[in-house]
Amino acid sequence: MKTYMVVYFGSALVAMFLTPIVCRFAKKRGWVDSPGVRKVHRVPVPRIGGTAIMLGTYALTLSVFLLDNVIGEAFRLIQREVIVLIAGGLLVNVMGTIDDIRDLRPRTKLLVQLVAASAVCAAGVRIEEVGLGSWATISFGWFSWPVTVLWILGLTNAVNLIDGLDGLAAGISTAACGVMAVLAIWANDVVMAVLMLALLGSLTSFLFFNFNPAKVFMGDGGTYFVGFLIAGSTVMCSQKKAAVIALALPLLAMGVPVFDMLFSVLRRTLERRSIFAPDRGHIHHRLLALGMSQRHAVFTIYFVTCLMVGMGMWMLVARDASLLILFAASVVLILAFRAAGAIRLREALNALRRSLANARAIRKEQRAFENVQLKLREAGSFDDWWASLCSMGESMGFERITISARGEQGEWGILVWQGSKEALRLGDVWTFRIPASGSQKGEEPTLEISGSVGQSLEVSGRRLSLFGRLLDENGLPYLAGLSSLLRSEGAIGQADLTPRSATGSTGQAAHSLQGRQLVPDKLGLQIPHKA
């Protein structure tokens, strides 16, 4: 017990000494977090406080290797696993600190975390099995690798995402470290106890500087380090105690950030946004939107965390009811998020319906596009090309497709496809005009596409994009030759150039040619000639 006390107070003193030094250094170099749209602070604040947490934790942890007692011997027996875990924590801390200073891409950060988590697995620190009380034991086998990696990545990023208010992430992590230290001492896991007590001491001192109004932030370097070390330590504990409590207790202690991360990913996915895209839908943002101050919001989340910790400690006593307690705690967390407005069920269901409908529409449009694309590639005449274009218009729900061309003497011709619906009023449609390049000035054929304003702009834009791709690949040569056709055939006046193959489609093609005689030309068009 004396060693435990020295580790806790020693790391607290080191972090207390280093944090002001880190603050002054960050201010001098300009490594501060400036106010912004998503930020709640009003003045620049140093953002690399996680360095002090990391140094305070490791200063005492590494010293334990030199002790000539039971705890030092336990560290030396699994020194490879501990060193790899420490190295992984250092790696994610350095990566996060660089991100605080220079902004890394989310893909890069995730890759570094994946490397660190995989190294821990390779060292033998894996979730091999989980005992469900006295009922059964689940053995993962080779699946222990992805389970462990996902566990580490999940907790690491959960702490990072919850770090939105002064003292929030540090306070939740402090509570989690405290309860896991109790679990480790209860399970006689001295390695985890030392790691959690060292981290607990550093976080306790850091909270003096991080609580509202904060003088320093943990930054990504601190949140990634704390989350990674907590996740890795719990895996080491689960290896020695194949019971659900070894993972459920830390999961409950970190319940608020874990659930906040899951709901954030779900929300962004339903909104068809990147899961890394920032927003103001986190639980602390919702509490602020309810009118709470920063401190009230933080204390509210502290209360929920303490409630989860209490239910987790109850699992130590009522071990046979551990799964039931875990389920009840999950329900309490969901209700807490619902009360805060971080879960909006109706909006989520509507977004899910829109997402599913959009996915179905995309698949349907893609199939239509691929069919017409094949037909256009095989088209041997303008007649075939136009018929395929009309088919595409029907599949995409367009109202009208028009091709107009003007000859040398001002004579012009118009080719029209009308959708199956009745003609719309002028104000009911949008029109997109595409001029064909390559002709002389004033003679370019023009293709116009019209659609109903009842469609969303996103749907119309996506369909126009596919239509434009067809024209890019197979359309412009036909359009460019249309003016030459008119000049060579001597067409005059206004006419509807209706190919025979298009008249039998589901769309409608106009036939009013004002009494002029029609003769088919070599491309299969019906062109008016002088009598």
Going residue by residue through the chain (531 aa), what tens digit of pLDDT does each one get?
Answer: 889 999 999 999 999 999 999 999 999 998 888 776 556 666 788 999 999 999 999 999 999 999 989 999 999 999 999 999 999 999 999 999 999 998 899 999 999 999 999 999 999 889 888 776 666 677 888 888 999 999 999 999 999 999 988 999 999 999 999 999 988 888 888 999 999 999 999 999 999 999 988 999 999 999 999 999 999 998 887 766 555 677 888 889 999 999 999 998 888 888 778 888 878 888 998 999 899 999 999 999 999 999 999 998 888 777 777 788 889 999 999 999 989 888 877 787 888 888 888 888 888 888 888 888 888 888 777 777 888 888 888 888 888 888 877 655 555 667 788 876 554 555 567 888 877 654 444 456 778 888 877 666 778 888 888 888 888 877 655 665 555 554 444 433 333 333 333 333 334 443 332 323 323 333 333 333 333
Confidence (pLDDT) at 468: 84
- At 38, phi and psi to the nearest 5? -90, 0
Confidence (pLDDT) at 479: 60
**Strand ranges (DSSP E) for 327-445?**
400-406, 412-418, 429-435
Q: Which residues pair with 413 in a beta bridge?
A: 405
481: exposed, middle or buried (C-beta count within 10 Å: 0-12, 13-18, 19+)?
middle
Provide the 8-state DSSP code for 507: S
Q: How many CB atoms lie within 10 A of CB 293?
A: 12
Q: By C-alpha distance, which of 302, 312, 295, 301 is closest to 337? A: 301
Q: Spell out the domain ranges in the chain.
A: 2-250, 385-529
Would you state the structure tokens that stand for residue 499, as one six-digit string?
């190919």
Distance CA 328, CA 409 (A): 83
- At 33, phi and psi to the nearest 5? -95, 110
Distance CA 499, CA 169 (A): 69
Q: What secondary structure, in 3-state letters, does 35-100 show?
A: CCCCCCCCCCEECCCHHHHHHHHHHHHHHHCCCCCHHHHHHHHCHHHHHHHHHHHHHHHHHHHHHH
- The per-residue b/e assignment along 376-386, b for 16 or more CB within 10 angstroms, e otherwise, is beebeebbbbb
Contacts of 143 (CB under 8 A, 6+ apart): none
- At 451, phi and psi to the nearest 5? -145, 170
Confidence (pLDDT) at 404: 77
- At 2, phi and psi to the nearest 5? -65, -40
**In contact, 5 and 185? CB cutoff 8 Å:** no
Confidence (pLDDT) at 359: 82
Confidence (pLDDT) at 467: 85
Distance CA 505, CA 517 (A): 24
Q: How many CB atoms lie within 10 A of CB 188?
A: 10
Confidence (pLDDT) at 484: 53
Confidence (pLDDT) at 518: 28
Confidence (pLDDT) at 249: 84
**In contact, 400 and 418? CB cutoff 8 Å:** yes
Q: By C-alpha distance, which of 48, 43, 61, 52 is closest to 96? A: 48
Confidence (pLDDT) at 411: 57
Please give the C-alpha separations between residue 253 and each of 122, 174, 330, 432, 459, in angstroms, as whole numbers: 27, 10, 12, 57, 44
